[in-house]
Structure 1
Amino acid sequence: MILKNSFMGASLTFSPRFTAYVSDSELELTLGDQRYSWVLIDIGVIELELGLVWARLRIKALDGQTIKLDGIDKTEGKRWHTAFEGLLHKQVAEAGKQALAQHSSWASQILKKLPNTWHPSWLGHHLVKASPPPVLSCGLSADAIATHPSLRAAAAAYPKILPDLPPVPAEAISVALKRLNESLFEQHKGMPLFDTLESTPLTEEQRRAVICFDSKVLLIAAAGSGKTATMVAKVAYALAMGIVKPNEILMLAFNADAAEELQQRLDKRLTNLPDADQIACRTFHGFGLSVIGEATGSKPRPAAWLEGGQDVAKVLSIMEELSNSDPVFRTNLMLVRTVFSQPIGNMPGTSTTEELEKDLVTSRGELVKSREEQLIADWLFFHGVDYKYEAPYPHRTADAEHSQYHPDFYYPEVDLFHEHFALNAQGEPPKEFKGYAEGVVWKRALHQQHETALFETTSHTLRSGEGLPALKEALESRGLKLKPDSNRIPTGRPALETDVLARIIRNLMQHAKGNQLSPEELSQRASRLDPIRGPLIIDLYAKVLQRWQDELKATGTVDFDDMINLAIEHAESGRYRSPYKLVIADEYQDASAARARILKAITARPDTFLTAVGDDAQSINRFAGADISVMRNFLVFYGSGTILQLTLTFRCPDQICKVSSEFVQENPKQIPKEVRTRSSVQGKAIQCFAAKHERELGSLVKDRLTKIVMKLRAVWDQPRKPSIMLLGRYRSDRPHNMNDLKQICGPDIDLYFTTVHSSKGTEADYVLMLNVVGGRKGFPSQIEDDPVLQCAMPEPEDFPFAEERRLFYVALTRARRGVFIFTVSGRRSAFVTELANKGHINIVDKDGQAVSSQACPSCGKGFRTQRTGKYGDFIGCSEYPRCNWKAK
């Protein structure tokens, strides 16, 4: 069966000549000077398109190739296409028939290998991988036939050959396993164990999580949903069913306190089970040490400086030693501390965070207009360049449309003017900078008119790493000698504290070791992130790391990150063979890539089971190398598994559940879940109070606390004491009048202060969130994790304040009865504004009167707020000084 296009057809459709030949099993095609050949069944479809004069065919092969054949006689095209489809559909139908028969035989063999008494899914995924369905005689896999584009048409054309569509084998097995698992759940969910193990019966979600024993299970547990009870019940169930023995169970926690708490809970609930004391509750670090010890016969000793925050102090001491002995290190250290203490941030005009005046003071003491100008001024100060900031232009420029011109920088030694323009790579200013582009043209024209030398930098050149080297070249080419001085002490804005930089370097070390990234790889990544600042910090890091590793070697010790990496090597190589069949890892949102690898290594055998428990909505322990992508990519990392959720909380009232869930899931990368509650608390569970100024905050908190205490004393009817948690973003948020506040509560009410980070896993009847304001040390904190850390992470988070949002979620979900948020009208937190704008909260003052949440009519980012000036009260924008809008 042959098909060709004519010379006229090819010419008029501007197509190459072709010849297509179809036998019973193959399609051969000559198209111009190209030759193609396919087995018929490797063709997905051939589409026919009829035009006014000519027909067109599109050949779509299973390998992704698409070939267009044009200029075909319409009658010939229809005849050939019909005949071809008949041949193709018959071959697909015959292959589908074979796939059906082989799938039935293969599936029955798989299901026969499953245990008959419990948990058919235990070995299911492994058996599918170990025993894939055979390849069909046509050469395609059963998967390829089950998903063939012409399968349905083939079944319709040849129903006697193919009465039923063949399923995708793995999907069909999964459906069968799901059906068997559901049957198993119905059989076991009523076990007395689930009603008596805890003080209250387990929920259906908890029972499902306990009974599900897929080889890999991720349990996403909402705040207050009883995850610890579920983990303990899973252990009890596994022992009661004879699935594992006590000495085959390993429970892993991230710190010693959590491991001890798990052990105590097991001891309390499993007292009647024999040998329950053989269950291992370990920290990841403790387990890593035991792995190395068993694999090598010599258990390593962790370095003494790793405990109690001494690791950062150790980095600091190494930095001081290097600064004294290495002039290059000292120069780069001071360069980072003064010039590159902060990343540049967003393009001007796009920042969503409040920048206070004190944040834009230079090393020399001037107040500049942007972070970019501050960077340039600090660079000039560090290199000893004499400059004048915004000095008047020596020629008169004031007229009816313009005031006197003040160039950004002037270098008197070389008579050079320097303008820094907020322009992107295309030479465009931010959209909200009205008239800015015209101003740029005017300034350039002035310099041409008066024949004054002008040097330019832009936002783009500064961020791309081109701006400062170009400035250096411009100055040196005019004879100005730069004099960098690592001993030059800033007289204006203080240098970045060395302990802050030491913490950044220590965090880099943990993430880089956890992801096994060398300093060279980090430097390459950092240069893409921030072309100048990034590599500078990595250079400091590399020298500190070398000294750190030298001291570990000299003392014959290891750090926790190297220890985990060594344990991974022994587990993955088989030198360590884990005796554990059931591994339960708590707080999985805090897992690093390295911890995930060791879990994968010790649960790789078909008869082992991993249950990872965590909540990606809660803040992560980034200081210890936590990487949220490890949890979000669970199925990809482990290859298969089941994801379950505990969404019923025993703690928070309904309003807190709904508001906190919607708030944290503004970040689209958070795993979706809808949290429900058993709490019977009604009414407003979240209230917000705004002080007119910071001095009023203390009395506002005291007044509200007094009212809460009065209410508690009037209505409290439970045997335990009520509790009130004062919650701060920082330790410095602890109230100065704490003793007075405790006297208000008296001995019958527990009152205590803690930070949000430390509050994870705790709860109280009432939570008072203190100092929820905007600014650098606000909530969200604008001193978020340094962006350079992103170069050590496999999947950077690009959602603004992603970790701070999770931290705010933690704060909201500590309360059993109610949350009270305290802010300042003129410095309201962006999170508070967001909740108010969405109608989740009403903001009131000390008298209970509503505080305006109307958007600023000028910038649209801030809101109208009452302020006081030298002429009395007025209405202004909360984004001042970024926005100067005001009204009577």
Structure 2
Amino acid sequence: MLFTTPLILKYFASYTSINVDDGGVILYDRYGKPYSLLWKQIIQPPKLESKVLFSYLTITHSQGLMSLAIKVDDKSELALKLQKIWVTHHQKELCARIIKLERLLKARYLSHGLINMIQSVLIPYRDKWLSWDIRCELSAELAQAIATLKEVTQWSEGDIAAFQEGYVRYKLTEHEVFFDTVEKLPLTTAQRRACVIQDERQLLLAGAGTGKTSVMIAKAQYLAYTRQAYAKHILMLAYGNEAAREMAQRASQYPTFPECMTFHKLGLEIIERVEGVAPNISQLAQNEREKRTFVKETIVLLCQEEQYRLSFVHYTKCSGTDIASIRRYLESAQGTRQLKTITESLGHLKCAAAMNNLLRLETRFNEVLLCIRPILAEYSLYLSNEKAIDFEDMIIKSIRYVEEKKFISPWTHFLVDEFQDISPIRAKLLKALTEQSERHHLFSVGDDWQSIYRFSGADISYTTDFTNFFGQGTVTQLDKTFRYHQALLDVSSRFICANPGQIMKRISAHNTDDIAPLVYIEESEEEQSLCSALSELNAKVQTECSVLILARYHKLLPDKRLLSKLQQQFEFLELRTMTFHGSKGKEADYSILLGLHAGTSGVPAQESSDPLIEALLPKQGNFPNAEERRLFYVALTRAKRQVYLIKPKVNPSEFLLELDY
């Protein structure tokens, strides 16, 4: 089909004629020079627009627009012919793309990354097919492909949620036998959903006793079972050595199982793979007493220089300015406490520097930093001369290797336990690893209600504001606790949720026995109060049972002599003593809480951190005693049956009064 520009426009138009056939279009300029376009280069069917005297034919191609005036008798027929030819050349590509899309949507969870990828891939097809009025006849396959294209590119949040829910339900049915048998007991619906949902960033909020470890193990096995990942590409991370060992032991019971390690072990692994040799861990890092001695001797050495000595005396309020006075001060009770603070600050300062957070401290703590920075410099020099690293270096150095791409992660799926305990420096390492590839996935399990390690750098905001730091993701919850009964769940949940900063969770108890959750014992003499609680317990239980004796501070727990005596007296009660912090992750049939008085060495703790240490730690929430409340919640939720509270006659803890309200 050849069309020419009317004579009146020939001398002004860019193109004077056009030839259209099944191969494409050829436009000729006023000098007769041709410009050819294949139909595949033409983004949309040529448009025919009527003007006063002529019709304008516009062709949209990959480089822009071409337009020329033509005179045509039947515009509708020509427009229809042009559509048919264009559709013939483009339909195969669209149908093939939609088939691939449908296969992908059937095989994979509709994650945020997948949504973004689909939308970006389909934008050119949307512009090609949905921006003009289709008038020509379409095959059934093409009509369905266009309908799918229109639906997917116009998905609302509700549509996406409905599609995700449909996928989850389908997979729950398809893999029902797997979920029934992967652990000793069949997984709950919420646990199964946590396994099936596979977003690039996923946080599972798992309250006390909800079976988070079972989900971690099942998630790893599900990924391997459904061939979403090989076991060797899955890394399970735990906060401490004991948790990592427990997880590894449980995972090793399966034919294929992933690696399990702590963040420090991960750091060592990264450093060794980059440097080709395992790093040497400094003895100072492994022995706190030796490290404190090193700091003391370093201070004495630095004080040989007068300016530093005067700065140190001003900082510590030491009574004398000579070396002997400074040494005596460092060996005094007050000096020993100061040494502990300085030693503790070294690690926090290294992490703050790695996070670029030191500048904000310069003005407020200038005098303190003048004293501590030289100590940190000497410590770093000692490590360098020793060709050794400390625990902070394990993380800081590994971050650098990951960010510089000297280390490329062999793992594509990172499963992190006790996520509420993660520190900024660990979070930075995790983010660096997961951002190495779009194929990397993060599955984190934690409970903001049990975030109790701020003193060691844990930052609860990575849990409460998960997606703000790690990017678009999915947050779900486990909704059933198997540890304790509903009444104890109600009491403990009401207590922790008095802080509006904690994430609200809908949890029910598997055990609905009607049991009084709390038993109050009036405090008398320490030993007598504990004996009274144990005697009441001993008379109540029919069989052997376990009892956790808990206190905020170790010094308030019965010593070995008393514990041995009580164990002999109540031989059917298995007694263990722990601090509130030490009881995290533990459980027993009953628990007894001691030291529930207000004030010094009481609950909540009144001791304040050194101002510099406090500034180096993550920010606290605005709610009073937020972390102490979480710690008390941990203590309340160790017992399966009942919690015995030793209540002081005078000056009881405000937490006790709140429970008794």
The two structures have a TM-score, normalised by structure 1, of 0.56
Deviation, 1:325, is 3.8
Is the Cα contact below 8 Å between 1:335 and 1:486 reproduced in 2?
A: no
Is the Cα contact below 8 Å between 2:552 and 2:603 reproduced in 1?
A: yes
Match of 2:404 in 1: 573
Correspondence list, 1:206-605, <5 A: 206-268=191-253, 270=254, 273=255, 276-277=256-257, 279-307=258-286, 310-311=287-288, 313-326=290-303, 333=312, 336-337=315-316, 487=325, 497-516=334-353, 522=358, 524-525=360-361, 527-528=363-364, 534-604=365-435, 605=437
Where do 5+ consecutive residues of structure 1 fail to align?
1-103, 143-166, 340-381, 384-482, 529-533, 840-888
Deviation, 1:337, is 4.9
Match of 2:66 in 1: none
Alpha-carbon distance in structure 1 between the residues aligned to 2:153 and 2:445: 27
Alpha-carbon distance in structure 2 between the residues aligned to 1:169 and 1:670: 36
Match of 1:740 in 2: 565
1:523–1:108 CA distance, 2 compared to 1 (3 A): same
Deviation, 1:210, is 1.0
Equivalent AA in structure 1 for residue 465 of structure 2: N
Deviation, 1:572, is 2.1
Which secondary structure state, in structure 1, belongs to the residue aligned with residue 650 of structure 2? helix
1:130–1:286 CA distance, 2 compared to 1 (3 A): farther
Deviation, 1:187, is 1.7
Which secondary structure state, in structure 2, belongs to the residue aligned with residue 678 of structure 1? strand
**Which of 200, 208, 213 lines up with 2:185 in the alignment?**
200
Match of 1:875 in 2: none
Match of 1:610 in 2: 442
Q: Render the CA deviation track for 1:181-230: whole Å, top value 9, x for unaligned.
A: 21122122241121122222111111111111101101111011100001
Deviation, 1:313, is 4.3
Which secondary structure state, in structure 1, belongs to the residue aligned with residue 245 of structure 2? helix
Deviation, 1:288, is 1.1
Alpha-carbon distance in structure 2 between the residues aligned to 1:174 and 1:114: 19
Equivalent AA in structure 2 for residue 293 of structure 1: E
Match of 2:630 in 1: 806
1:220–1:784 CA distance, 2 compared to 1 (3 A): farther
* Residue 127 (1) aligns with residue 114 (2): no
1:781–1:337 CA distance, 2 compared to 1 (3 A): farther
Alpha-carbon distance in structure 2 between the residues aligned to 1:618 and 1:643: 17
Is the Cα contact below 8 Å between 1:727 and 1:811 reproduced in 2?
A: yes
Equivalent AA in structure 1 for residue 565 of structure 2: D
The two structures have a TM-score, normalised by structure 2, of 0.74
Is the Cα contact below 8 Å between 2:199 and 2:474 reproduced in 1?
A: yes
- The range that moved more, 566-575 or 218-227, is 566-575
Alpha-carbon distance in structure 2 between the residues aligned to 1:334 and 1:179: 67
Q: Render the CA deviation track for 1:425-453: whole Å, top value 9, x for unaligned.
A: xxxxxxxxxxxxxxxxxxxxxxxxxxxxx
Equivalent AA in structure 1 for residue 385 of structure 2: A
Match of 1:34 in 2: none
1:132–1:553 CA distance, 2 compared to 1 (3 A): farther
Match of 1:775 in 2: 599
Alpha-carbon distance in structure 2 between the residues aligned to 1:318 and 1:616: 36
Is the Cα contact below 8 Å between 2:208 and 2:481 reproduced in 1?
A: yes
Which secondary structure state, in structure 2, belongs to the residue aligned with residue 504 of structure 1? helix
Equivalent AA in structure 2 for residue 267 of structure 1: S
Alpha-carbon distance in structure 1 between the residues aligned to 2:230 and 2:308: 56
Is the Cα contact below 8 Å between 2:112 and 2:473 reproduced in 1?
A: no
1:793–1:704 CA distance, 2 compared to 1 (3 A): closer
Correspondence list, 1:833-852, <5 A: 833-836=657-660, 839=661
1:296–1:325 CA distance, 2 compared to 1 (3 A): closer
Equivalent AA in structure 1 for residue 334 of structure 2: E
Match of 1:749 in 2: 573
1:121–1:523 CA distance, 2 compared to 1 (3 A): closer
**Which of 694, 697, 701 lines up with 2:526 in the alignment?**
697
Deviation, 1:757, is 1.0
Match of 1:178 in 2: 161
State percent identity of aligned pairs: 30
**Which of 660, 666, 669 lines up with 2:498 in the alignment?**
666
Is the Cα contact below 8 Å between 1:312 and 1:503 reproduced in 2?
A: no
Deviation, 1:731, is 1.2
Alpha-carbon distance in structure 1 between the residues aligned to 2:326 and 2:279: 44
Deviation, 1:711, is 1.0
Deviation, 1:650, is 0.5
Is the Cα contact below 8 Å between 2:551 and 2:578 reproduced in 1?
A: yes
Equivalent AA in structure 2 for residue 188 of structure 1: K
Is the Cα contact below 8 Å between 2:517 and 2:642 reproduced in 1?
A: yes
Which secondary structure state, in structure 1, belongs to the residue aligned with residue 111 of structure 2? coil
Match of 2:75 in 1: none
Alpha-carbon distance in structure 2 between the residues aligned to 1:217 and 1:648: 19
Match of 2:54 in 1: none
Alpha-carbon distance in structure 1 between the residues aligned to 2:154 and 2:187: 31
Is the Cα contact below 8 Å between 2:454 and 2:618 reproduced in 1?
A: no
**Which of 719, 730, 735 lines up with 2:553 in the alignment?**
730
Which secondary structure state, in structure 2, belongs to the residue aligned with residue 806 of structure 1? helix
Match of 2:612 in 1: 788
Q: Render the CA deviation track for 1:339-367: whole Å, top value 9, x for unaligned.
A: 9xxxxxxxxxxxxxxxxxxxxxxxxxxxx
Correspondence list, 1:599-678, <5 A: 599-604=430-435, 605-678=437-510
1:288–1:113 CA distance, 2 compared to 1 (3 A): farther
Is the Cα contact below 8 Å between 2:111 and 2:199 reproduced in 1?
A: yes
1:541–1:114 CA distance, 2 compared to 1 (3 A): farther
Is the Cα contact below 8 Å between 2:452 and 2:581 reproduced in 1?
A: no
1:169–1:241 CA distance, 2 compared to 1 (3 A): closer
Match of 2:31 in 1: none
Equivalent AA in structure 1 for residue 177 of structure 2: P
Match of 2:39 in 1: none
Correspondence list, 1:863-882, <5 A: none
Is the Cα contact below 8 Å between 1:727 and 1:755 reproduced in 2?
A: yes
Alpha-carbon distance in structure 2 between the residues aligned to 1:113 and 1:122: 17
1:316–1:240 CA distance, 2 compared to 1 (3 A): same
Alpha-carbon distance in structure 1 between the residues aligned to 2:355 and 2:405: 25
Which secondary structure state, in structure 2, belongs to the residue aligned with residue 192 of structure 1? helix
Is the Cα contact below 8 Å between 2:521 and 2:533 reproduced in 1?
A: no
Equivalent AA in structure 2 for residue 254 of structure 1: Y
* Residue 708 (1) aligns with residue 537 (2): yes
What's the Cα RMSD here? 3.5
Q: From the two aligned structures, give the one with the greater helix fraction.
A: 2
Alpha-carbon distance in structure 2 between the residues aligned to 1:485 and 1:171: 76
Correspondence list, 1:25-44, <5 A: none
Match of 1:843 in 2: none
Alpha-carbon distance in structure 2 between the residues aligned to 1:820 and 1:486: 52
Which secondary structure state, in structure 2, belongs to the residue aligned with residue 583 of structure 1? strand
1:808–1:592 CA distance, 2 compared to 1 (3 A): same
Alpha-carbon distance in structure 1 between the residues aligned to 2:484 and 2:266: 35
